[in-house]
Amino acid sequence: MPESMKYRCVFDLAGKEKEIAKLEEESTAADFWDEPARAQTAMQQLASLREEVSVWRELAGRVADMQSLLELAIADNDETMLNEITAEVEKVESELSRLEFHLLLSGKHDRNDVILAIHAGAGGTEAQDWTEMLLRMYLRWTERQNFKTEILDSLTGEEAGLKTVTVEVVGPYAYGYLKAERGVHRLVRISPFDFSRRRHTSFALVEAWPDIAEDIEVDIDPNDLKIEVYRSSGPGGQHMQKNATAVRITHLPTGIAVACQNERSQTRNRQVAMKILRGRLYDLEVEKQETERARLKGKHVEAGWGNQIRSYVLQPYHMVKDLRTGHETANTEAVLDGQLNDFMEAYLRMMMGEG
């Protein structure tokens, strides 16, 4: 089977086109906009599907053109044309590789933006410094992806680093990528805070929730919420210190607490905090379902701090190893500078294999 046909089968071009036709028909119904939130989501889905199909059709057209040109080049023994075709083949292969990776991002909310949170584990200043290192690593990764970021909430350590930080990441497939980073990250290094220059082990927990649309069903009873307003402890000058603009919302049934102090407006902070809460409650429900599926399959599931996903060793040797996939590299500097795609891809391929 030609390579282009193989990928079109995996992508299910015919199935996507049927889905487009169905959404187009639904959008012409007289009552389509009676529920604006649902209609808006459907139109976004339609635009996304059209874009996907367009990319694959354009790529198929390029492949067909190359096949025709190749026949002419061979018939005329035209080396210049053969070299041009070879260069075009390399470009198409690179594009196919990128699209193949996107096929791994097929989860329900993989296209969504993401709320990323990093929390220092036990270890005081060491763990807090590790949390700040992880924040820099992810911000460098987002820069490489041309994603936008906004720090929604943070709490600095007494001496250095961060106790916790929450970041909104905006970009295509942001959640699909960063869901691979959920779990405990372990650092082994010579501590810069230890005068005896001893080796220390630090832990930090990374969480990621999809920034889900308002029409996604997440049942939140207002009576289950405890809402507190307080003065921001973050940067922002006298205005933020004098006014109680920061908001903390606690979901009493689950004990989940979220906060936002980044905006000057209390109303805006409340909106952002509710968005984070919706994402966390949705992710909690998904986690319950995944745990139950794993239990039924007989797979051992261990939760909590023992569920370490990746080790970053800077002393006595250099190694970053993902304990779920076995993927590893000795180039720790590159990883900590945001070169994470190989680790993410290895995880997504593993999950697709398990599915």
For tokens 């936008």, the residue is 148
d(Cα 21, Cα 317) in Å, to the nearest integer?
Answer: 56
- CATH numbers and ranges of domains, the chain: 3-103 (1.20.58.410)
Output the tens digit of pLDDT for each of the chain's 355 residues: 344 444 444 556 777 888 889 888 888 888 888 888 778 878 877 887 888 788 778 888 888 888 888 888 888 888 888 888 888 888 888 777 777 777 778 777 888 889 999 999 877 889 999 999 999 999 999 999 999 999 988 888 888 889 999 999 999 889 999 999 999 999 999 888 777 777 888 999 998 988 875 545 667 888 888 988 887 665 444 444 456 778 889 998 888 888 887 766 788 888 888 888 888 888 788 777 767 655 544 544 333 456 689 999 998 899 999 999 999 999 999 999 999 999 999 998 888 775 4
Q: By the 8 A CB rule, do 206 and 130 touch?
A: no
Token readout for 11 is 């992508």
* Distances from the Cα of 246 to the Cα of 161, 243, 347, angstroms: 21, 9, 36
SS3 sequence of 65-113: HHHHHHHHHHHHCCHHHHHHHHHHHHHHHHHHHHHHHHHCCCCCCCCCC
Candidates 129, 171, 170, 172; CA nearest to 151 is: 170
Complete DSSP assignment for 19-52: HHHHHHHHHTSTTGGGSHHHHHHHHHHHHHHHHH
pTM as predicted: 0.67
Q: By the 8 A CB rule, do 202 and 127 touch?
A: yes
Q: By the 8 A CB rule, do 142 and 114 touch?
A: no
